Chains A and B, each alone.
Chain A
Amino acid sequence: MQTQTARFEREPLVLGNPSLGDITRKISGITESKPNMKFLMALGASASLMSWGLGCILYTMLNGIGVWGLNNPIGWGWDITNFVFWVGIGHAGTLISAILFLFRQKWRTGINRSAEAMTIFAVINATTMVLSHTGRQWLFAWLLPTPGNQMQMWTNFRSPLEWDVFAVNTYFAVSLMFWFIGMVPDLATVRDKVQGPLAKRLYGIFSLGWDGSMRRWHHYEMAYMILAGLSTPLVLSVHSVVSLDFAAGILPGWHTTIFPPYFVAGAIFSGFAMVVTLLVIMREILDLKEYITLKHLDNMNKIILATGMMVGYAYAMEFFIAQYSGNPYEGFVFVNRATGDYAWSYWIMVLCNVISPQVFWFAKNRRNIALMFVISIFVNIGMWFERFTIISTSLHHDFLPSSWGYYSPTWVEVSIFLGTFGTFLTLFLLFSKFIPVIAMAEVKSIMPYAQPHHGHHEEGGAHANGGGH
């Protein structure tokens, strides 16, 4: 029987069938180890980049956004491009943690913690970007319906920009709660393992006194399910609302109904690419190849391929509808995208987002680490250019040729953008050192020996040190 079923058996989610104790030692061991030179150098480099970016934001605050390259027809440039880019990156984490959870995709357990962390850090960048472009950043409270502010009136709830404030903040808050609640049992595991008194105290505080009580797990599992259920429509709504910032405007190239699904597909596409980029590095450096296996990467590459095709479809459909609608402005904008001043940006986008993921049709390519790393970088670049293309081509040539223009960023905008990568990497490095990077409790629960054998409850069924169904 063993031999007959062998060829149909699924690949194991964790290689080498480690015992429960092995999982604990491996993952919480990372938090206990002393940071090595390589780690400190990487942290130093990314923290410097972050400081440079934040310094440039401070420079912008002191001088006003006149230090950017924005001009009269083009009022949104790299600032909003970066915002949309980073919000998009965040989507993979929520998708992995919520939607794949509801669909009982057990392979998500190896990667959900780090993907959710990326979500949080990416949304931090996104909010920094959108706040920095408001001009008088210290008045950010005016974005919220706060009574008695200097405007003496309420926010305008008819504006998609106001919906965006609610969408992004809700997304951040819910992702953070989901991430933290998912982490509590693992922090308790680390608390019970670490030796240092300060570490013991800190992990003790953040693990809230979790002790693994099944009565608590019972509530906990329900809470996790509800949060996953909430995050599922939420992840679809965030980029939909972001896209309404454009779609509710009247500019040709923005005013289209395809935008919400198109933006969501693009967000998942770019998010998965970023997850692949970072996981390929992380599994190498932290030696997690048994936990983040080729199967995980293979699955993620399939999602990249699928969402890449959706994005490609959206590009084609946009182009087609622009001509088919008979609207001369709409038709012009799209021809201008492909052949005008920003054609270089358009073709980088098509090349990176539509052409490059096609290699993932072949199983061999989906399991080739070097190749998927390169492709994931291409996709990241391509998705940034997609947002840039959408924003600047629509703004630079709209209805009246008298108000046409061209936009290039200044060194300040470029620095702020590079700085966001510094922030992202700094936070991610700190995360990988101090927080269990793999959801230990979840991985333990999907081990083949982890659940009781149904039907017979006598002593000594499967042993927790090996064996299987």
Chain B
Amino acid sequence: MKTTGVLGNFHTPDSIMHAASKTHEAGYKKFDCFVPYPIHGLDRAMGVKRTILPYISFTGAVTGLATAIGLQAWTGAVDYKLNIGGKQLFAFQFSIPIDFELTVLLCAISTVVGLLGLCKLPTWWHAFQHDAGFKKATDDEFVLGIYASDDRFHEESAIAFMKGLGAQDVRVVTEGNEHA
């Protein structure tokens, strides 16, 4: 049975905040806090680096704008010239609504795809998810988890460390006992 990690539950936002910064200070890298709603400043306490998502979105926006201008200019003024009421074949003025819409559309799509990519979602299964106490993290408790894949991970010391932080119901989750 492979150990996935150690979990411990907390009951207040203050205590998980405190635990997160202590875990970060202790040098653990592969740990996470599972919380029912975003807690202000918890990401900073955990030492999470600022997300690169805005760059992904911006790339999408630029692609959208380029696509819109390219599409309208190429179809109208290059590929099939059509004289409609003597209007110009391509002009920036009339291209603006579609420029705007495609910029927004591609930016939104890249934001969503980028979000799923960065979060590694969808993911259908995860050994923690069969732990009854872990499920409280989508309800009303705050769960700290240290993964066994962390370089500094030793089962006994991780358990002792978490108990020291005041975590309740500290337990080891292994990949075999998910139906226990």
A residues within 8 Å of B by Cβ? Answer: 19-21, 24, 145, 153-158, 160, 162-163, 166-167, 170, 173-174, 177-178, 181, 185, 188-189, 191-193, 204, 208-223, 226-227, 230, 233-234, 237, 241, 244, 440-442, 444-445, 449-454, 456-464
Contacts and interface: CB of A to CB of B under 8 A. Distances in A.
Interface residues of B, number: 72
Given A154-B75, A223-B111, A442-B37, A208 B122 contact: yes
Contacts of A460: 12, 14-15
B32 A230 contact: no
B140 A213 contact: no
Contacts of A222: 51, 53-54
Given A157-B95, A214-B48, A192 B139 contact: yes
A162 B140 CA distance: 49
A460 B54 CA distance: 36
Contacts of A162: 98
A453 B107 CA distance: 36
B108 A227 contact: yes
Contacts of A210: 121, 138
A92 to B, nearest CB: 19
B14 A188 contact: no
A162 B129 CA distance: 48
Contacts of A233: 100, 104
A244 B35 contact: no
Contact of A208 (B95, B116, B134): B116
A158 B87 contact: yes
A153 B41 CA distance: 55
A208 to B, nearest CB: 4
Contacts of B143: 212
Contacts of B38: 214, 217-218, 220-221, 441, 445
Given A166-B97, A450-B13, A209 B126 contact: yes
B3 interface: no
B83 to A, nearest CB: 11
Given A170-B102, A215-B46, A219-B118, 6 more contacts: A156-B82, A163-B97, A166-B102, A167-B101, A173-B108, A444-B37
